[in-house]
Structure 1
């Protein structure tokens, strides 16, 4: 997992000769939204011992659509793996800090005390795909126990904004900002304009290093004392986006501009057009 998780999946062969020797990895390409395809691909793999679920459906504008798509994908995986893998001992689920603040359309509608702790109650009357995913996980584990199968432990991991290079990740903010900077530099040497709000520019933020998140997943999966818990995961320090913005601009040799008022804000797509 440490050595190969960032390598691109091979194509068309399922096993790549480019993978490091001694690290045999089989990549399976399957649409997790298709229960029949998931069952056909995963049910024969009866020797699975650990599941690390970090998949995410493409973002929809409506949270109800996000909830339905993401919970269905997870349920499809668990339905194929849990009943067919007698050696399964642990399922690790990655969600995020929106567990505490809700989806984008709910941000600002609730008074939420910080810092966030794992035992904080769920937000009332706030549909959240992360709640649905947790419920799907808990349901699968409970049904396994009722069948008299071996006890399956679980862990839920809630990182903040994840920093780490992964070219095929749809949640890669560092790569996205670097592409934005490269386009601005290419198109006539434009300034790197800050597209966000004043609160984000001046406020404190935290982040989660991708390697740290992976290490937490592994620790919770193998340490009996860590199982059946939810965990926040962040680097432990804080930063301001206005500090990070100067670093990004310097890396690309560009001039930059910060927050200049709501009337001057620009989206990433507008800034690159």
Structure 2
């Protein structure tokens, strides 16, 4: 893949469990090598701060050895949400200011309640968001196929409107980077409301591929219906990347992991990304 990119991901990765981070090591490396960066932020209690500090420092060292610019720190916080917000605010003026907040799909009612306010704070600080949902059995699979989803139901809209309204700038940028790192197929899966719009939707995707300089290493698939209803018809991938829309919630994310039978990244644009630049 030869497309040039001015945008690069500088990830802020909050960590409360180093074991989960180990499972995402290859994904973080693929997204950020060679020109991105990772800031690991351990969120600990007074009782766990020493143990978490050692584990996170070791993981940061492994990422650095793999060629990813990585730094790490641990804060003693009264809660995960409070610690993440404090970290975002403190790093807002840093030289390597994070432009992406990397979150795991939370499980359990207590953790799930934290997500909406974290998304709100990220939007307020104009930081993009990745919510990563690893499939409990497949993991990152064979690392050979990446699907990125586009909502093309608003036929007649400009390409810029389609990408902005669908929160798709970040999804496409990350899909490109992941496919490049894995030397994988990059499929664009578009959803439309009416079968008669298929030809114009394909033309839109062709234009997006051309303007975004995305090599044609995969296929274009146009599916008729809502994303959840047609997800099982998409080509089997190792990762599906989906821009979050208004109304999408944790239940939607969990259902998409099951429907696609793959790990998923759900993205929320900050407004600073532009895949067409």
TM-score, normalization by structure 2:
0.28
Q: Larger Rg: 1 or 2? A: 1
Identify which of structures 1 and 2 has the higher relative contact order when contacts are C-alpha pairs closer than 8 Å and 6+ apart.
Answer: 2
The structure in which a higher percent of residues are strand is 2
